[in-house]
Amino acid sequence: MANEPTYCYHCRTHHPRDEMRLIVTKTGKRWRCIRSIEATQQGAAAREAYGRLVSEINKAESKSRAQRMNNILQEK
């Protein structure tokens, strides 16, 4: 049956089979719901975007610091 309730190792509850994907883990094949997979992927994407933002800020800061240094050196 395509729609039989299947245990989701992520939510520790049952979902209809057609809302789930079979995931291969270290301990074997397990069913996990698409919703939790997508939530994790969005989480990873969000973390990645945040990491990029932080490194952009750091880059901008070190650039402006370098420019300040140049200005100081040029004033002398």
Of residues 16-55, which lie at the interface with Zn ion (CB under 5 A)? 33, 36
Nearer to Zn ion, 23 or 49 (CB): 23
Question: What does the CA dihedral 18, 19, 22, 23 come to, rounded to 10 degrees?
Answer: 170
In angstroms, rounded to a whole number, what is the distance separating the alpha carbons of residues 59 and 56?
5
User: CB 19 → Zn ion: shortest distance, Å?
Assistant: 8
Nearer to Zn ion, 24 or 72 (CB): 24
Q: How many residues bind Zn ion (CB under 5 A)?
A: 5
Binds Zn ion (CB under 5 A): choice among 11, 45, 53, 66: 11
